[in-house]
């Protein structure tokens, strides 16, 4: 959004994009809860999830969030609105993939990769530029990698209950090796996005910090300690996204527009 608008985004467009992002993520989470309701009950790691909200509440929230997301795309532009059903299909499809493929982690990455493309279309009404594809690809392989790490926590459960995941099918060492390779590609893709977008030294520094954070993430993952893996998944990946955002904000001098 920031790069597509050169940092000069209107309050209305920002608001509709945020509404679309939040409601779409809520839709995806509710669909995942409903799809995995019985599986989550059996998994010790997720056994409390079904107590957070009832199935009727999750269903109602699913419908409201889907409607809010589609309405937000309608308020943005015709291209966003036309693609909104595809967006919701991609977001919901991920939750079904663990039933038939060990590469469900790829489909989670694809679901998150929709966001950069959607933000670009929201601003420019098209994808006629390499930047959204570069950033979308970076997000896809980054997510693919960190979900491989996180899924090592459920490898034994997945094997026992005939669920597909990469660690359950190919083993935890293979999953961690693939995650390393994917995160190297992600780091290079984030750099390629910055070069294509004409970003400068602040974003470059953010990419360097991101690479350091990803190395740290894999050091934590190598311990196979659940507490350390949770830290790697939730905290370090939040650090990666916020670091790249701040680097972009600084290079686009967005604070000058605010002041």
Identify the burial level of 255 via C-beta atoms within 10 angstroms of its C-beta, where 0-12 means exposed, 13-18 middle and 19 or more buried: exposed
Task: Report CA dihedral (201, 205, 206, 208) to the nearest 10 degrees.
Answer: 140
CATH number at residue 48: 1.10.357.140
pLDDT on residue 17? 97
* Residue 26 domain flag: yes
| Mean pLDDT score, 64-75 | 98
* Residue 183 domain flag: yes
**What's this model's pTM, rounded to 2 decimal places?**
0.93
Q: Is 101 helix (H, G, I), strand (E, B) or coil?
A: coil
* Residue 5 domain flag: no
Distances (CA, A) of 185 to 135, 138, 214: 12, 7, 11
- Host domain of residue 250: 11-258
pLDDT on residue 171? 96
What is the count of structural domains for the chain?
1
In contact, 209 and 248? CB cutoff 8 Å: no
- Give the helix/strand (H/E) hosting 232: none
Residue percentage of the chain with pLDDT more than 70: 98
* Residue 6 domain flag: no
Question: Is residue 63 very low, low, confident or very high in pLDDT (cuts 50, 70, 90)?
Answer: very high
Residue 221: both structure tokens together: 């993952």
| Mean pLDDT score, 117-144 | 97
Q: Measured between alpha carbons, how far is 111 from 107 in angstroms, rounded to an integer?
A: 6
Task: Report CA dihedral (208, 212, 215, 219) to the nearest 10 degrees.
Answer: 180
Residue 70: both structure tokens together: 């589609």
pLDDT at 259 over 80: no
pLDDT on residue 50? 78
pLDDT at 175 over 50: yes
């Amino acid at each position: 959004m920031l790069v597509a608008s050169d940092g000069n985004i209107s309050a209305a467009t920002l608001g509709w994009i945020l509404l679309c992002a939040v409601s779409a993520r809520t839709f995806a989470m509710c669909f995942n809860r409903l799809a995995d309701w019985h599986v989550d009950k059996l998994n010790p790691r997720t056994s409390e999830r079904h107590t957070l909200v009832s199935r009727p509440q999750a269903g109602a929230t699913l419908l409201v969030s889907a409607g809010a997301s589609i309405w937000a795309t309608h308020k943005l532009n015709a291209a966003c609105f036309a693609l909104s059903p595809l967006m919701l299909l991609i977001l919901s499809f991920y939750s079904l993939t663990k039933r038939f493929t060990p590469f469900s982690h790829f489909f989670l990455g694809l679901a998150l990769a929709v966001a950069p493309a959607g933000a670009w279309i929201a601003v420019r009404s098209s994808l006629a530029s390499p930047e959204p594809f570069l950033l979308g690809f970076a997000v896809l392989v980054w997510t693919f990698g960190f979900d491989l790490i996180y899924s090592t926590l459920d490898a034994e459960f997945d094997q026992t209950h005939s669920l597909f995941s990469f660690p359950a099918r190919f083993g935890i060492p293979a999953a961690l090796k693939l995650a390393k390779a994917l995160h190297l590609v992600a780091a290079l893709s984030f750099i390629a996005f910055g070069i294509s977008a004409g970003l400068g030294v602040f974003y470059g520094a953010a990419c360097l910090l991101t690479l350091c954070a990803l190395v740290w993430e894999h050091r934590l993952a190598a311990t196979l300690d659940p507490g350390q893996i949770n830290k790697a998944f939730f905290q370090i990946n939040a650090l990666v996204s916020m670091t790249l955002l701040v680097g972009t904000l600084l290079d686009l001098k967005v604070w000058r527009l605010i002041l």
